[in-house]
Amino acid sequence: MKTWTVSLEFNVMSIKGDDKQSIEQLIQKLHPQGKLIPKWVKQGSHAYRVQGIRHKKAENYRCPKWPEELGRYNDPQEEIGIWYGAQNPCAALAETFGRLRPRASKGAGIFINVTDLGSRTMCVVEMDRDLKLLDLKLCLSKLARTIDEVSGADYTLTQEIVRVVSRLPGNPFDGIAYESRHHPDGSSCYALWTKPGEATTVRTVEVTKLSDFEYQGAFPEGFGDDSLDTEEIMTEILGYKVLGF
């Protein structure tokens, strides 16, 4: 049976210059009117991040210097570092391993080898202060956009939103809150930014190998267990097939 390894989704299209100008003008018009809808994340609340086992801490605000490495919510000007995480571990796992689904065979499922899990950790972080994030989903209609435009293969629209919002006067937002395209369960994923010289906004609480991780928290209806481990989250909630356990 074939297994898949992680591959990043790269921006394959570009929005036009006049489209970029329109987005910038809309954001700069809506912000002074207080019409950019925020999502508040309280100080001390936890978030989750899956990352390579070589990293000992989770305060990883990347600022790639090559366009082909820029993620969906990275700064296209390659100046501001971005931290990716999720409100719960289900979304964090989906955002990491959901990319393994081959585009040409939708519905075929995702087969993950146990070695893929062994090379990664689940990180729990704590917010160092109250964070004000742009609630992207609730702002889309005001930006004259639809959900498919911010969840498809073209990253330039979301990158442009990050470029403009992160540079609004007074730095009113600490990042973007968005819904996972691989597991849209109503919870949030986070793209938090830190400008050069600024303190990070998350603090590492725990780093655990995926093979050892267990989650005690809110689960979808029908899951009555007090806790679920990584394999159970992957197979029972996300519907992936994990080989080698």
The string of pLDDT tens digits covering residues 8-44 is: 333 434 566 667 889 999 999 999 999 999 999 999 9
Domain ranges of the chain: 17-212+225-243
Residue 8: the pLDDT is 36
Q: Which residue has the higher pLDDT, 11 or 94?
A: 94
Q: What is the pLDDT of residue 140?
A: 96
- pLDDT tens for residues 151-175? 988 899 999 999 999 999 999 999 9
Separation of alpha carbons 100 and 161, rounded Å: 26
Share of the chain above pLDDT 90, in %: 62
Give the best-scoring range by mean pLDDT among 3-7, 76-80, 128-132, 195-199. 128-132
pLDDT at residue 10 in the model: 36
More confident residue, 24 or 226: 24
Q: What confidence tens digit (pLDDT) does each residue in 110-120 have?
A: 777 778 888 99
| Average pLDDT estimate for 142-148 | 94
DSSP single-letter state for residue 62:
B
- 201-223 residues labelled b (16+ CB within 10 A) or e (exposed): bbebeebeebeebebeeebeeee
With cut-offs at 50, 70 and 90, classify the pLDDT of residue 122.
Answer: very high
Q: How many CA atoms lie within 13 A of 65 on its CB side?
A: 0
Distance CA 219, CA 228 (A): 9
